[in-house]
Amino acid sequence: MHMVVLAAFLPMEYGNFVIRESRKAGATLTSAIQTGRCGLLKQEVAMSLFDLSGPESIKTIPFPSEQDGLLPYIRRRQPLLLSGIKESLPFIQDWNYDFFRESLKSIRIQRQSEDGIYHYLGFERIPMAEFDEVMRTTGNGYALEPLKGRGVSEDLPNDVSVTLPAFVPQSRFRVSNLYIGPGKNKSLLHYDETHSLLMMLEGRKRFILFAPDQSDCMYPYSPFSLRALLENRVVDSKIDCQKLDLEAFPKLGKAKGITGWLEEGQALFIPAGTWHFIEAEGRNVSVNYFWLQNRVRDWLQQPLLDFWLKRRAIDVLDQLRKVKHKLSAAA
């Protein structure tokens, strides 16, 4: 027997099922109790962040070939799916896991934290053969390899070369990264101060996006939180996406996101300041671009205003560290 369990239902009977509304935890929608020869079986349906999807759907357009092809959407801070990435960017035609496994000597990875999330902290560089073993066995490793811009390794082969789309200004470009995951890898709920274009080369990823004007529902860290500054969590939400707690974070229940699937051959444009959570289904390979193209009015709105304040606080901390180092050296 198949049934759909909805949180809005009052306790009722459905065949040999009894549907009850659970009130003890904000993130538990309902409990379904089934009786029969096997006795009593209780199953709790936990709330997912994807349940916060609103009525709005994401628009899909062909990959722009003009310099201003994305500009109207950037100004509106409107997320998009772009189709035809391999036809528009021929250099990625053959890029998949097998290509990188054969081309790269080493790769920069991170291990899962205790909560099962990759926090983009504590990277290590390992031989590609070792990473391949991780991919085939434990799956405890997620690769983030810079391909262009900041942090590019000397080990990167010449044939792994990235060119910019026409709509990404060279002067505003920051970095292009390669991401390789074993499956079920997921991000934190966060935003970026830059625009992001995530291109799916192999596999698929599910996403939910929340507009910048919903920042109050996302429970960001305070720009004056020393812990967040020291742990480099200035763009993260306090919400644990694996164990949603609407009692601790009641405004989250009012949020309305845009959900969808990023399929192979597509790109997802995420405007600066847009909150997002992304989860991969199986083995996945993707490449992204980050570029800074914000107007003054964008910096004056949340969450980018908080980011600006946090960056200034981080700059002060960095200066204090330098002063302390000089004083220690002079002593």
| CA distances, 137 to each of 97, 110, 114, 141, 285 (Å) | 16, 16, 19, 10, 18
Residue that the structure tokens 């405004």 belong to: 251
Query: Residue 74's closest CA among 247, 206, 212?
Result: 212
What sign for the dihedral angle of Cα 159, 279, 111, 177? positive
**DSSP secondary structure letters along 258-284:** EEEEE-TTEEEEE-TT-EEEEEE-SSE
Q: Identify the pLDDT of residue 37.
A: 38
Structure confidence by residue, pLDDT tens digits, 193-214: 999 999 999 999 999 999 999 9
Q: Identify the pLDDT of residue 44.
A: 55
Indicate the domain borders of the chain: 12-47, 51-318
The secondary structure element, H or E, covering residue 305 is helix 304-330
Q: Where are the beta strands (DSSP E) in 182-243?
A: 195-202, 205-210
Alpha-carbon distance of 288 to 27, in angstroms, equals 33
Alpha-carbon distance of 142 to 105, in angstroms, equals 16
Q: Identify the pLDDT of residue 1.
A: 42
Domain 51-318, CATH 2.60.120.10 — does that match? yes
Q: What is the side-by-side order of every strand in the sheet holding 266-270? A: 59-62, 80-83, 266-270, 195-202, 284-291, 173-181, 142-149, 106-110, 124-127
10-residue stretch averages of pLDDT, the chain, 331 residues long = 40 36 42 38 70 96 98 97 97 97 97 76 92 95 96 94 97 98 93 97 98 97 82 88 94 97 98 97 97 96 92 80 79 70
Contacts of 170 (CB under 8 A, 6+ apart): 164
